[in-house]
Chains A and B, each alone.
Chain A
Amino acid sequence: MSIPLIHYLALSALLFVIGVAGVLTRRNAIVVFMCIELMLNAVNLSLVAFSASLGDITGQALVFFVMAVAAAEAAVGLGIVIALFRNKQTVNIDEINILKW
């Protein structure tokens, strides 16, 4: 018995929205990164679901791209957080507000 596509998509959307909400509202930079990972994985989920549903392997191939990009982005992002922490002694995003006039 297969699960209907819509359930996968709903789960994916839910995870994505949770991820977005987290990115926009959480104060800890590490948590923001985790939420970004969550968003990416939500997209992965919907890609795989479509791939299985449509019988097209392209979706699953794309998942590998997304995972690679996510890994790279996480690495670079965490590097920036460490550099920030060294200068500002905090990873609280609210206090890192110098990107303005």
Chain B
Amino acid sequence: MMSSLLVALVVALPLLGFLINGLAGKWLKRERLIGTLGSGAVGGSFVISLLIFLDLLQRPPESRTIVVTLYEWIASGSFTAPVAYQIDQLSTVMMLVVTGVGFLIHVYAIGYMHGDHGYWRFFAYLNLFIFAMLNLVMADNFLLLFLGWEGVGLCSYLLIGFWYDRKFDKGTTGDAAKKAFVVNRIGDFGFLIGIFLIVATFGSVRFEEVFTQAAGLAVGTPVMLWITLALFVGATGKSAQIPLFVWLPDAMAGPTPVSALIHAATMVTAGVYMVARCSLLYALAPTALLVVAVIGAATAIFAATIGLVQNDIKKILAYSTISQLGYMFLALGVGAFTAGMFHVVTHAFFKALLFLGSGAVIHAMHEEQDIQKMGALKHHLPTTYRTFVVGALAIAGIPPLSGFFSKDEILWKAFSSGAWTLWLLALVGAGLTAFYMFRLVYLTFEGRPRWHGNVHPHEAPPVMTVPLILLAALAAIAGLLGIPPSLGGGNAFEHWLEPVFARAHRTLALAPHVAEPIEYLLMALSVAVALAGIWGARVLYVRRTELPERIRQRFAFAYRVLFNKYYVDEAYEAAVVSPVVRGSERLLWKKIDVGLIDRLVNGTASLFGAISRTIRVVQTGVAQTYLFVFLLGVVATLAWLLAG
């Protein structure tokens, strides 16, 4: 029997971990203790989430929604928002992913952060992050979701800037952290507008109340377009889509477990979750869905092209994440909400795996992150190598690994909904994905060592490799959850989530997934494209390693553009950041505030001084002047008396 205590405990355990490690961590000293506390809190949440999930599993599909209200948070006038959690099929999926993958990453971090003087701070922040993320995915209303939304942004800031006195790229880690927070905030601005519109339209922020009312609206109602677009602006910020993706590559300044947890598996999928949760609202605004799909596909290929030429191992993975998130949004945009969520799950597994693997490599290479200085590491880091390849195959979409099923589902749904251009973009992107991933694999692990004597790479300790192995296993077999009917499976994942998206699907009037011959063709096509990508990488980076340099010289301009990320950061800096900062300083502060307004104020004061100086002339000190004025006064009075 479900009790609200259990639900509250899921959220409370990480909070408790944060408080203990945050307040007392400095005196606990023992790394094992701190790490166990932190991981244990998340692990406990995972176990309870599992229990909740199993409980739901036993119920009939119609009654798999539980709402647990803790207390009334903000209430004023006619507005009220509670701290309440809605446990249903969608939130349990996210809960399991967040706490499960989160637990593995916590364990990994016990080893990775060994020796860091901020060890206790790290685990405190990580626990706080899990707390915020759980609030986000478990909330039953938009306001609590927003609390989680901003909370994960905060933790992202704290963790990106964790090593606060280090340099990063052309600036510092602090710059990267600030960029992440500010760009996220721009997205949050859109989210807030969305919430205001929702309150204005539906009078409530609770999901159930909003969605029940929305079900009665007609498709294409104008206000729905604004709401969904505003919310989507928030999603582009949090999930790093065009145009607000620029913070994610910089977020690589943080320690690798952070990149794995926050910037791959969980926080960045918050936008996807949110759009999925609001599936009905988006179904009512077909234009918004189109926007979502187009931006998703565009981002997918855009980021993939940048990832082709990057040399920092984490940057490649960062752009890969942006690209894969694009796929998820593409899925949502064509109405394939389940496919999008499925990709969230599989991506969490293999991307976390890839990031953690890269962390092991970076550690082994003594903080070196440039893949051009690596090579032949498969002999020194066998477990890392093998798990990494599993992850790479998964992301490339090679069956029977999980990435194939989720990505293929997306491609098929895109195609079958008629969005052929988007499908084509996504297909090309898939090829590019396979290519750059295996470029990464080959340059890092294969070939000859391009590093020098005093680097002695060795395999990571078990506390780090065991999570890798577990994640690899998950990345491999998670596909079983979503085997489509065309391949004989019942797509358990889709069935599980179906009730959540039922209303949206009805509104969209989509045809159910029926196996068609074309589907097999497309499946084969996507596998072929992936294999082509892998083979291309093999040719360029293993067999004929002189080719990349020649291609680079032949297409120098294109290479420069891609390497410099299409100069987007520079464009934003010139068009937005610089004018605002310089304008504020020179114009607003110096010219207007000090020069104009304050001068008016001081001018008024000096005006009185001037008047005073003028009138003071009358006071000559000579008695005769006074007498003269006296005489004038007498004459004036007499004249007035005689006249009137």
Complex Cα–Cα for A96 and B624 (A): 10
Q: For residue A36, which residue of chain B has the nearest CB?
A: B627
Q: Collect the chain B residues with CB atoms within 8 Å of residue A93's CB.
A: 622-624
A contacts with B, residue count (CB < 8 A):
13
B454 at the interface (CB under 8 A from A): no
| Contact present for B621 and A98 (CB under 8 Å) | yes
The 8 A CB mask of B597-626 against A (1 = contact, 0 = none) is 000000000000000000010011111101
Query: Distance in Å from the Cβ of A78 to the closest Cβ of chain B?
Result: 15
B628 at the interface (CB under 8 A from A): yes
Complex Cα–Cα for A25 and B624 (A): 8
B631 at the interface (CB under 8 A from A): yes
The 8 A CB mask of A42-86 against B (1 = contact, 0 = none) is 000000000000000000000000000000000000000000000
Query: Distance in Å from the Cβ of B608 to the closest Cβ of chain A?
Result: 15
Q: Which of A85-101 contact B (CB under 8 A)?
A: 93-94, 96-101
| Contact present for A99 and B621 (CB under 8 Å) | yes
Complex Cα–Cα for A97 and B626 (A): 11
Complex Cα–Cα for A32 and B628 (A): 13
Majority DSSP secondary structure for residues of B touching A:
helix
Q: Which of A23-49 contact B (CB under 8 A)?
A: 23-25, 32
Contact count A vs B, C-beta below 8 Å: 28
Query: Distance in Å from the Cβ of B266 to the closest Cβ of chain A?
Result: 76
| Contact present for B627 and A24 (CB under 8 Å) | yes
Complex Cα–Cα for A101 and B617 (A): 10
| Contact present for A23 and B621 (CB under 8 Å) | no
Kindly name the residue among A93, A96, A100 whose own CB sees the greatest number of chain B CB atoms within 10 A: A100
Q: For residue A27, which residue of chain B has the nearest CB?
A: B624
- The contact of B628 among A24, A99, A101, by CB within 8 Å, is A24
Query: Distance in Å from the Cβ of B617 to the closest Cβ of chain A?
Result: 10
Complex Cα–Cα for A93 and B619 (A): 15
Q: Collect the chain B residues with CB atoms within 8 Å of residue A101's CB.
A: 616, 619
| Contact present for A99 and B623 (CB under 8 Å) | yes
Q: Collect the chain A residues with CB atoms within 8 Å of residue B619's CB.
A: 100-101
| Contact present for A23 and B622 (CB under 8 Å) | no
Q: For residue B626, which residue of chain A has the nearest CB?
A: A99
| Contact present for A96 and B631 (CB under 8 Å) | no
| Contact present for B616 and A23 (CB under 8 Å) | no
A-B contact pairs, 10 of them (CB 8 A): A25-B624, A32-B624, A93-B623, A97-B621, A99-B623, A99-B626, A100-B619, A100-B620, A100-B621, A101-B616
Residues of B within 8 A of A (CB): 616, 619-624, 626-628, 631
